[in-house]
Structure formats: C-alpha cells, structure tokens
Amino acid sequence: MKRRVVITGIGAITPVGSGADGLWQGVIANRSAVRTIDRFDPSPFPSHIAAQVDDFDPADHLDARRARRLDRFSALSVAAARMAFDRGGLDAHDPARTGVWIGSALGGVAFGEEQHAGYVAHGVRGVAPTLALAVFGGAGASNVALDLGLTGPAVGNANSCASGAVAIGQAFEAIRDGTVDAALAGGSEAPLAPLTFGAFAMIRVLSQRNDDPEHASRPFDAGRDGFVMGEGAAILALEERDAALRRGARVIAEVVGYGASNDAYHMTAPRPDGRDAARAVVTALADAGLEPDRIGYVNAHGSATPLNEPAEARAIRRALGDDVADRVPVSGTKGLYGHALGASGAIEAAITAMAIDRGTLPGTCNLEIPDPEIQLNLLCDATPVAVDVALSTSFGFGGMNAALLLARHA
C-alpha cells in the first residue's frame, strides 16, 4: 500500500501576515493588502499597484552573512522553510531522507534586473558576485537545503502560476512512493522590480484600478479588470503519516491527491471550455480514490482576470458535475494578497489546510457583484463550516494546471 502524507507545519510570509497564525488572521480579517507601489516609480506603466510584503527583513530570520548574500527570492524561501521545518519538527527525520521542492515562476529574475542596472551604471564592478548563484531556477530549493543541511532531493520548478502547487504535488508523490520520508514544499516569489513588473503590465493582464488599490483585486466579481501582482512565500512541512504519529506530531491536514495537465492552447489565455483544467481535478480525484461529492470546499485559483475565471468555473463544473458544483462552497483568496505568481498555489494550499483544521472557510475579498457568467456557489465572507475534503486549484501561463486534494486527518 502507498504511504499516507500529512502536513505538520506551515511557514508563510505574505502581504496579509506571516507565519501560519499571521496568515490565517489576515484571511479571517478579509481586508486587502494591495497598495500603490513604493519600491519603484510605477508611473511608466498602466498599473501602479501591488501587494507588497513590507515587514520582511531577512536579518530577522537569517544570520547576518546569509541575509546579506541572499537575494529576496531566496531569502523568502529560506525564511518560510525555516518556519515550516521548526513548526513541523522535521529535525526528527534523517536529512538524507528529507527533500525540498520549491516552485517559482520567476525565481531571482528581479535581482538580476537590479544587477543589470548596476552593470549599466558601473560596469562589472557594479554587479554583485552572487548574481550567478541567485538567478537559476533551483536557487530557492538549493539555499533551503544548504541552510537546513537537507541532503535529499532539492528540486526547483518554474511552472508559472502553478509552480507552488506542482512542488507540493511532487513532494507528496515522493513521500507516498518512499523516495523520501519528509519534505519542505511550496513556492516563493519576489517579482516587484520595474522591468519584471512592467513586463506583465505591458501585456495588460494587471488591474488598472489605480485610484482604488484596496478594491482592485476582485476574484469572480463582475467589475474585475485584471490581477494584482504580489510577492511572498509559503512552505509546507510534509511527512509520512506513521512517522509523524509515532513522534506525536500535530497533523494539520492530509494530502490525498494531486493532478496536473496542460491546455496546449495559448500562452496567456486558458482554454475557454476548461476541459484540461478539469482533467487535472479529475486526475487528483482518481489519485485520491474519491468521488466528487466528497469535496466540501474549493479554494479556486481566482486570479481576477476577465478570461480566466469563466474558464475556471467551467472546469470546476466539468470535473465535479453540476450537482456538486451548485452546492459546494467556493472562494478565491487573491483579493487579500494579490497574485504572487508561483507562490500563490502554495499560499492557497496552506490556507486550505488551515481551513480544514480550523473549521472555517475563507471568504472572497472584494466580491460585490458576482459575474453572472460564473455559475458557482461563491463565499463572500469567512464562514464557519467543517469540511472533510477540500480542493485547491492553480492555473498558469503556458496552460499549466494543477490540483491538490487535502483532507481532515483521521
């Protein structure tokens, strides 16, 4: 029999709160952290807003030398991983049997942009010697492994906005199949730099509600006009269930299924009928051996873009069937902290796990007038409801789709 996989720790650094408890408090407060950007001058772009993490100082989490050497992406990765590692008690596991899986759409690209500016102004002497070590896709996972002395697999992926969910899914499979006994898995993103931000602004996928930042990220709302870029990190401590129980670890939730697919349709637009996004959900259900009617909550990708959410709603209906889709509560939490690209799926998996554990389902911040094209049972406010199984979906550029099924541990 395949081994069972449980979540015993959560590390998070987000615009609405840090640590598992800080993130959850931000979710329950249901107030957006989106503001006008102050990291750089956004005036050349049509969008001037983002969800920044303003209280993150690497020196608060890392020793002074590491804090100076790591770029923001890797520092977020290591800080969130340390939280999850400590909260989950993963030091009880053999480091050689503990892996790291971290997804990020852009990795250290923003740091590379900063160094390019130094190169233009001062030549080679203006470039940090750590540049080559910061911009490769596996830098986050490698730095976490190095920091914690973990010698199992260390894997970075760049599967766009599905990256964090893919990392968790792959770590889940590795533990279940016996490749490792424990893992740190999730996503990290630090994209708030002028050219990096501007690349998304120029293709007009970002909200332009510059005069009302707090209400700009509006998942499933009829007035949504694009996503709001965010930053942050979330890492889950995963381990084999029996080992966790033997040492008396507190289980937050169980990972029971994972599915992935690709639309093979368009680089930025989802397949309108949601066929292949639905297939990721169906694959996760088959992986878990569950019927759709077991799902009690859906934490949707809900990026607040005009094209994506009707397609996502169709995908949910295709995968779960009309009867389930009509009744199952659905919410999208990006109204709170924007879209942290590859970290979003991990942040939302953490929220979903805590929703199961704490018996309250998150609301959908800024949902005022639901889009009539989106036929889902949408939650506006946080609602006390106990559920046994929940679905978290993540969809990204390049048609990348991922679905995670989490369950109450029993």
40 phi/psi in degrees, rounded to 5: -155, 170
> Would you call 116 a catalytic residue per the annotation?
no
Q: Which of 380, 228, 224 is nearest to 310 (CA)?
A: 224
DSSP three-state, residue 262: strand
Characterize the bridge pairing of strands 98-103 and 154-157. Answer: parallel
Query: HEC profile for 145-194?
Result: HHHHCCCCCEEEECCHHHHHHHHHHHHHHHHHCCCCCEEEEEEEECCCCH
Is residue 288 a contact partner of residue 257, using CB atoms and an 8 Å limit? Answer: yes
- Alpha carbon separation from 271 to 118, 144, 263 (Å, rounded): 41, 36, 6
Catalytic residue among 61, 93, 339, 409: 339
Q: Which of 215, 226, 222, 224 is nearest to 34 (CA)?
A: 215
Report the alpha-carbon angle 147-152-154, nearest 5.
Answer: 65
Is residue 168 a contact partner of residue 84, using CB atoms and an 8 Å limit? Answer: no
Catalytic residue among 61, 93, 301, 409: 301
> Would you call 301 a catalytic residue per the annotation?
yes
Helix axis angle, 72-88 to 139-148, nearest 10°: 50
Catalytic residue among 161, 215, 266, 365: 161
> Would you call 339 a catalytic residue per the annotation?
yes
Measured distance CA(324)–CA(33) in Å, rounded: 32
Positions marked catalytic = 161, 301, 339
